[in-house]
Structure 1
Amino acid sequence: MNLEYFIVPAASYLIGSIPFGYLIGRLHGIDIRKVGSGNIGATNVTRSIGKIAGKICFFLDFLKGALPVVLVNMTFEENTANLALAAGLAVILGHVFPIYLRFRGGKGVATAAGVALALAPYPLLCALAVWVVTFLTSRYVSLASIVAAASLPIIAALFFGLGIGTPFPLANSTVFFFALIAFLAILRHISNIKRLLNGTENRFDSGAGKRGSGK
């Protein structure tokens, strides 16, 4: 096995492990793990600190997802597609299980979206539209994240099947990868799903104290 198959996933995992939500909270004198939902993602940062902090957190989590995949595509000439998928999976796992926070991280939605944008932008944009429609009609961040994640591999399969949007050389592997991260996203939202089913999941609101999905 080539050395890059160890170096790229390891470096991507360490990038993914950077807990931007936790760091933003510390800058505001808050341990984000001890307020709101206890999640280090953008939704809990928004709810506990404010909209600007939440947007910064989302952007940074999104960026760290896209960055390793983009760097792989820019750096390597051989096995690029395989390495890009490996980097994408590793950076998501880094966010969800960050070594710097004893493997207790976020739900990975923003980071996974960054990875998906770098791998297949058109399917990701369609999944984003699904997220927006679901959120605007329900006001549940968790439900929007779950539905968008579940729709991504289906949308990607349609795009690749029709030959639209991307010449990515490992279309089947990419669809499987999207299915894998959709499964992971749904698994990380089990508690939200239970609250949605029993009617106790609170809708997201601009004010503090509303419960949603921590990205």
Structure 2
Amino acid sequence: MNLPLILALLVAAYLIGSIPTALWVGRRFFGLDIREHGSGNAGATNTFRVLGKRPGSVVMAIDVFKGWAATMMATVMLNQGAIQPRQLLYFQLACGVLAVLGHIYPVFAQFRGGKGVATVLGMMLAIAPATVGVCILVFLLMLVLFRYVSLASMTAGVAFALLQLLPPFRPDNSLLLVFGFVLAVLLIYTHRANISRLRSGTESRVPMFGRK
């Protein structure tokens, strides 16, 4: 085991996740701090809410890529002989979680980031692409039907956990199954304020079909 390489790539995973996409896009193109508007989160959902469809889509795409790229650090470890094949999933999850923590607590933005939903999506896309592919369709369907990013995110997260119970999507390692359910619970927990707004009818819808 090449411990220096592993530690360097784990740090790299956190730093990739720490790239504050929403904050930089807001400041560079709109002259504002996204954290001072909307829900106060520096994530894709709030970018959709405050800046509109195009900036929101850009931020979401980059944040998804952050999660995917960070998780792929584990593959680099494997290819360099730093870890064994049986350890791959564990280091994929470690790298992905560090990227998500980086997104939530970014070192480049005073540790004030977003909720990490898009980064989690990228992380799981690197680990279970087929399952995530279905979840993306669920997300898009919910977004088109209701225009609530929060609702679409929670539904997709729950779908990921439930899909893994089905034979076509059941993972070889039960750790991923457990992680999927933990992830769904955490996703709902971090969106508790959104759930309250959804129940009261005050949750903001994202602009679609040519609006903003």
Task: Normalising by structure 2, report the TM-score.
Answer: 0.84
> Are 1:107 and 1:188, in contact at CA under 8 Å, matched by a contact in 2?
yes
Deviation at 1:165, TM superposition (A): 6.0
**1:88-114 C-alpha deviation (Å, 9 max, x unpaired):** 111111112223333321111111110
Q: Secondary structure at the match of 2:100?
A: helix
CA distance in 2 between counterparts of 1:2 and 1:176 reads 28
* 2:144 is aligned with 1:136: yes
The partner residue of 1:117 within 118, 125, 128 is 125
> Are 1:66 and 1:111, in contact at CA under 8 Å, matched by a contact in 2?
yes
CA distance in 2 between counterparts of 1:110 and 1:71 reads 18
CA distance in 1 between counterparts of 2:177 and 2:162 reads 8
The partner residue of 1:147 within 147, 150, 155 is 155
Which residue is 2:104 aligned to?
96
* Aligned Cα root-mean-square deviation (Å): 2.3
Which residue is 1:18 aligned to?
19
Which is further off, 33-42 or 54-63? 33-42
CA distance in 1 between counterparts of 2:162 and 2:143 reads 19
**Structure 1 residues 137, 56: closer, same or farther in 2, change over 3 A?**
closer
Q: Which 4+ stretches in 1 moved above 4 angstroms?
A: none
CA distance in 2 between counterparts of 1:81 and 1:172 reads 11
> Gapped runs of 5+ residues in structure 1?
209-215
CA distance in 2 between counterparts of 1:187 and 1:5 reads 31
Which residue is 1:211 aligned to?
none
Which residue is 1:68 aligned to?
70
Q: Percentage identity across aligned positions?
A: 38
What amino acid does structure 1 have at the position aligned with 2:60?
F
Which residue is 2:115 aligned to?
107
Which is further off, 101-110 or 188-197? 101-110
CA distance in 2 between counterparts of 1:92 and 1:157 reads 25
1:17-56 equivalences in 2 (<5 Å): 17-28=18-29, 29-56=31-58
Which is further off, 179-188 or 111-120? 179-188
CA distance in 1 between counterparts of 2:127 and 2:91 reads 11
CA distance in 2 between counterparts of 1:24 and 1:30 reads 9
CA distance in 1 between counterparts of 2:204 and 2:47 reads 16
The partner residue of 1:175 within 155, 168, 177 is 177
> Gapped runs of 5+ residues in structure 2?
none
Which residue is 1:190 aligned to?
192
Deviation at 1:37, TM superposition (A): 2.4
Deviation at 1:181, TM superposition (A): 2.4
> Are 1:8 and 1:83, in contact at CA under 8 Å, matched by a contact in 2?
no
CA distance in 1 between counterparts of 2:102 and 2:123 reads 13
Deviation at 1:156, TM superposition (A): 2.2
> Are 1:8 and 1:86, in contact at CA under 8 Å, matched by a contact in 2?
no
**Structure 1 residues 177, 10: closer, same or farther in 2, change over 3 A?**
farther
CA distance in 2 between counterparts of 1:156 and 1:102 reads 37
